[in-house]
Amino acid sequence: MTPTITSTTLLNFLKDNVDLTRVCFTLSAAAVVFLLLIHLKLRGKRASPPLPPGPRGLPLLGNLLSLDPELHSYFRDLAQTHGPILKLQLGNKVGIVITSPSLAREVLRENDVVFANRDVPVAGRIATYGGYDIVWTPYGPEWRMLRKVCVLKMLSNTTLDSVYELRRREVRQTVGYCYSRVGSPVNVGEQMFLTILNVITNMLWGGAVEGDERDSLGAEFRQIVSEMTDLLGKPNLSDFYPGLARFDLQGVGKQMTKLALRFDMMFEKLIAQRSSSSLKIRDERDSSGGGQNRDFLQYLLELKEEADSKTPLTITHVKALLMDMVVGGSDTSSNTIEFAMAEIMNQPEILKRAQQELEAVIGKDNIVEESDIHKLPYLQAVMKETLRLHPVLPLLVPHCPSESCTVGGYTIPKGSRIFINVWATQRDPSIWENPLKFDPERFLNNSKWDFSGSDFNYIPFGSGRRICAGIAMAERMVMYSLATLLHSFNWELPRGEKMDLAEKFGIVLKKKIPLVAIPTPRLLDRSLYE
């Protein structure tokens, strides 16, 4: 029997097939779009720049086992093989080493905001109360608030001018100490550390180390600060494998906690004393109509009470800033003075020229004042040359990109640790003539090399938003101290000893063998040593 095809059946058949066709077409179109997206994604991946070259590493460990303790020279040697931008696999962390002024410019100038954060090591986090200081705080409103507090209030030229008498007193006390040691060895770095520590603590809370405590307490404080900076520069498994941080396999966290606690107890005591007497101090200042008695701690505590609700200054910030000033300001400047003295003593013609300039400007019947230092271009050149050969932070403080980006044609992954090897750049023979020779002449009559971070051949204090906040303070203390030591005394090594200029790597560069030298008076009037 032949089926009958009615008009209704035909219409239903056509309708069903039209719907089916639409479904098939939609699915086909979706499949094409999906395949196109996959193609574009794969094509995009193929088009992305590769990671920088670098030495091959081991599974899980990467390049950790091959790291040399002297990282600045080790990174330089790697750059000679792999190029000015290279990658190291440090456990779970990617390290990028930059050894080129043009690439440093890309990081610190052209992509400044992207690289304005820090990869905070465990030791740094412990030392600064969780990273609440100006060094480690992430870039943003909180960091801008902290930098404003430091740069505009503590370390501005106006503030530094106002406490010159304090610096002068401490430097004169050091001269008196060295005069009492005439003919006997003096540990130059240790004495300059204590001088600068006294300047800083007086500026912070009015404290200083004097009298019989000077030698013993100065050496103790310097040892603590030295151990802290050593831990900050030490490769730590807890940083490379964050999951292992709670085990503290190398004991870095435990050691740093112990050292930081010694400062914290002092900070707590000072803050408690100030808090109990703050009303009295405020009343006395109001009645006298001025604020001359305020030191930095008093200013911070008052600022905390008047805190902006959006970015408040907390007691943790206060203690972290105190730690920054004590640790970051004392060791760095004293190491620079020690290196400068060693380099000058190693070349008698440089010592003679520096002293001749001092005699012409100051005379032998006067003492150096800080207002004289801008009249000493040769000594300025000595300081700049010292910071070229022996930059305070040889790898700067590591940066950390907030997003993946491209530098030098290579992909830099988000969250990687960026080392800028200024120590190697400032010894690069393609940039500097006779780069290993200490030659202040290269900085005479040459204004392009300053501390502003604008010329990336020479950035001893870094560049960009995270440039060192204490440049003005460091420049004054180094120049004033160096001029005073050279003007007041002749210096020579103990009999039979030779100058050793070897360096010891850390986040802060140190002289491996301390400079011990014997002073002899140069000034005609012995009362100038009082």
- Binding-site positions: 468
The secondary structure of residue 111, as a DSSP letter, is T
* Residue at 109: amino acid letter: R
Query: String of b and e for 310-349 (b: at least 16 CB within 10 Å)?
Result: eeebebebbbbbbbbbbbbbbbbbbbbbbbbbbbbbeeee
C-alpha closest to that of 114 among 396, 311, 407: 407
C-alpha 164 chain-centroid distance: 25
C-alpha 322 chain-centroid distance: 16
Write the Ramachandran bin of 131: left for phi over 0, alpha for psi from -120 to 50, otherwise beta. left
Instruction: Name the token pair of 238.
Output: 């807890």
- For 186-224, the DSSP string reads EEHHHHHHHHHHHHHHHHHHS----TTHHHHHHHHHHHH
- In angstroms, the CA 204 to CA 186 distance is 28
31's CB contacts (< 8 A; 6+ apart) are: none
Detail the residues annotated as belonging to a binding site for heme: 468
- In angstroms, the CA 258 to CA 127 distance is 10
Report the sign of the C-alpha dihedral through residues 338, 375, 380, 166, in that order: positive
Beta-bridge partners for 410: 407
- In angstroms, the CA 134 to CA 320 distance is 8
Q: Please report which residue ranges of 289-370 form alpha helices under DSSP H.
A: 296-305, 315-323, 329-346, 348-361
The secondary structure of residue 117, as a DSSP letter, is E
Q: What are phi and psi of 24, to 5 degrees?
A: -60, -40
- In angstroms, the CA 166 to CA 202 distance is 7
H/E stretch holding 405 reads strand 405-407
Query: String of b and e for 248-271 (b: at least 16 CB within 10 Å)?
Result: bebebbebbeebbeebbebbeebb
